[in-house]
Amino acid sequence: DYRTGKRLITEDTRKEMKKVLTEIQDGTFASEFLTEMSPNGGRKVHFLAQRRMQADHLIEKVGAELRQMMSWLKK
């Protein structure tokens, strides 16, 4: 956003985003994700619960309704 973007995306946010990008590029992110999803990782239950919560979020329901109105997506 042209007016509020700089207030929302602070220097700390930028630094953290760069850290995340580095983790993606060097494979750390994928390695940790696969460990969490492994049978012994113990976090898969948390991941699936988060996925359900996100799917039930109002923005997902509104998005589905909006996509139904977009005739060009049905082709």
Q: What is the pLDDT of residue 13?
A: 94
* pLDDT tens-digit series, residues 10-69: 999 999 999 999 999 999 999 988 888 888 767 788 888 899 999 999 999 999 999 999
pTM: 0.60
pLDDT score recorded for residue 61: 94
Are the C-beta atoms of residues 41 and 35 closer than 8 Å to each other? yes
Main-chain dihedrals φ then ψ at residue 12, nearest 5 degrees? -65, -40
- What is the number of H-type helices and E-type strands within the chain? 5, 0
